[in-house]
Amino acid sequence: MVVSKAWTLRQHFQGFPKASDFHLREETLPLPKNGQVLLEAVFLSVDPYMRPYSQTMMKEGDVMIGSQVAKVIQSYNPSFPVGCHVVSDCGWRSHWVCDGAELTPVLPDWPQDIPLSLALGAIGMPGLTALYGLEEVCEIKKGETLLVNAAAGAVGSVVGQIAKIKGCRVVGCAGTDSKVSYLKELGFDQVFNYKTATSLEESLREAAPHGYDCYFENVGGKFSSVVMPQMREYGRIAVCGSISMYNDTTPQTGPYVHTHMIFKQLRMEGFLCARWKHKHQQSLRRLMAWMTEGKLRCNEHITIGFNNMPAAFMGMLQGDNTGKAVVKV
């Protein structure tokens, strides 16, 4: 028998999450049977989507949702030999027994000098989200101008770099001067700190006087309302997230987008990267190729210790991370 640790949702979040909203419990797992494997977490992901998903898809007492890179430590499934690494969606658990149906092996030729934790970041769901948002939703073209907010996060930082690879002009914004400097190092054309800007409207206009062809939306709320008038005709908006609204206790209201969307003939589309699951393996190899060629760079904000999962999650929600937030067991 194996004793596993698991973080559960003690009570639904009211506003910003608190440490008391989580509970750490121990679970006794059965030994794996024929066709099953025993996983041990190596890296766990904390992501913004967990905040709204917890409200709509979880009950109090459920194990917190999330992905992890895990090592197979016992196996009765020939597809997953002992010692191999997989990406699992088993949540905030230290160990888990499963039949392998929902496991994704890390790329078999994963380079030794690339951290496995990136399978939760640029070579994982955030990287796929960036790629599909640009190619499938925005249908971005060489020479166009892209705006991405929360640009120093796990998704935003990859969005900007892929757009540069494709020959676009990239404007990004972030909430600290150190993040602004980081984005400039990544090759963003214009970057500003939205928290210290005198006027968000003027900062956006100065960065792109002729407007924006594409907008990769991670923030929502008032920021989005300011961007709409500065979209160019036939602009495309990929709605990936709305982190500025996730902890609201009172829903935000208007201004509304209809007039701008009609007269500028804009296209706004929400998306989840699972829509293109059939492309994942090919897309992961594209992302890995850009990384090994030096065209894609990634920063990670690593928290040590499974017991620090809630602290890492709350820190990510308040913007402590530059790049992908990961917990190393």
Q: What is the mean pLDDT of the chain?
A: 97
Q: Whole-model pTM above 0.85?
A: yes
| Res 178 pLDDT > 90 | yes
- Mean pLDDT, residues 253-274 taken together: 94
Pair 102, 133 in one domain: no
Q: What is the pLDDT of residue 190?
A: 98
Pair 229, 264 in one domain: yes
The model's confidence at residue 255, banded by pLDDT at 50, 70 and 90, is confident
% of the chain residues with pLDDT over 70? 100
**Has residue 24 been placed in a domain?**
yes
Pair 303, 241 in one domain: no
**Smallest Cα–Cα separation from 4: which of 53, 34, 39?**
39
Pair 77, 181 in one domain: no
pLDDT in tens, 199-217: 999 999 999 999 999 999 9
Q: What is the pLDDT of residue 197?
A: 96
Pair 37, 74 in one domain: yes
Pair 266, 215 in one domain: yes
**Has residue 139 been placed in a domain?**
yes
CATH number where 89 lies: 3.90.180.10
- Mean pLDDT, residues 276-289 taken together: 97
Where in the sequence is the domain holding 211, given as residue range(s)? Answer: 125-273
pLDDT in tens, 104-148: 999 989 999 999 999 999 999 999 999 999 999 999 999 999 999
pLDDT in tens, 61-113: 999 999 999 999 999 999 999 999 999 999 999 999 999 999 999 998 999 99
CATH number where 153 lies: 3.40.50.720
The model's confidence at residue 154, banded by pLDDT at 50, 70 and 90, is very high
| Res 251 pLDDT > 90 | no
Using the CB atoms, write b or e for 41-73: b if 16+ within 10 Å: bbbbbbbbbbbbebeeebeeeebbbbbbbbbbe
- Mean pLDDT, residues 13-30 taken together: 97
Q: 10 Å Cβ neighbour count for 324?
A: 29
Q: What is the pLDDT of residue 256?
A: 85
Pair 173, 224 in one domain: yes
**Has residue 281 been placed in a domain?**
no
Pair 134, 268 in one domain: yes
| Res 228 pLDDT > 90 | yes
